[in-house]
Amino acid sequence: MQNKKVVGITGGSGTGKSYISAQLKNAGYLVIDADEVAHKCLEQAECAAEIRAEFGEGVIENGKPNRKKIGEIAFSEPKKLEKLGKITHKYILAEIQQKIDASDGRVVFVDGAVLIESGFKCDFMIGVLADKKIRKERIINRDKISETEAEKRISAQQEDGFYRKKCDFIIENNGGEIDITEIVKRIQ
């Protein structure tokens, strides 16, 4: 279908992008979750081989990449996170584009933490922000990691100002209900 509008939903870990995406899905929109796509791409032999070559055999268990170990390494310093992105983005973005091309909707949402940094082109970008304390609590509860690991993850990601400059619309997601009708009005 021609003239699809691609809308990115981005923001740091723990901001609540998945909450916004779930509401959009419930409203009948196609939402492509870049994390789900990434998990699938990590299973591809070519991607796994590149990760092994860069980060060592220790990140592969039973022939499959161990996402937790990869995350611990990647979030330990910015250069390693950048290297991981260079390896995985090409696989992830190609798969997302295939899903967009195969969809029959007029509007497609793509939920991804590093859409802007990856160079993925969207017609409209929504930035989801939340207070660092709330983000940290969400990450600890969701990923079952320590406070220190959650803080490392947050500090390895972009500051709020980055999203405020780069996004067309900002959602402050510090809890409570968010009405997606305002989001849908803005993109049409």
Tell me the three state secondary structure of residue 133: helix
Locate 167 and state its tokens. Answer: 């996004």
Residue-range definition of the domain harbouring residue 122:
5-187
* Joined tokens for residue 174: 């510090």
Share of the chain above pLDDT 70, in %: 98
What is the average pLDDT across 168-180? 88
CB 112 within 8 A of CB 9: yes
pTM (predicted TM-score): 0.88
Query: DSSP letter string over 84-131?
Result: HHHHHHHHHHHHHHHHHHH---SEEEEE-TTHHHHT---SEEEEEE--
Per-residue pLDDT tens over the stretch 112-167: 999 999 999 999 999 999 999 999 999 999 999 999 999 999 998 999 999 999 99
For residue 119, give the CATH number of its domain.
Answer: 3.40.50.300
Token pair of 159, please?
Answer: 């500051």
**How far apart (Å, rounded) are the C-alpha atoms in residues 41 and 93?**
10
Predicted confidence band at 2 (pLDDT cuts at 50, 70, 90)? low
Strands 64-65 and 124-129: unpaired
Question: Please, which pLDDT band fits residue 1 given cuts at 50, 70 and 90?
Answer: very low
Domain total for the chain?
1
Q: How much is the pLDDT for 88?
A: 93
Q: Which tens digits make up the pLDDT trace of 59-96?
A: 988 878 888 888 888 888 778 888 999 999 999 999 99
pLDDT at 81: 85
Of residues 181 and 139, which shows the higher confidence score? 139
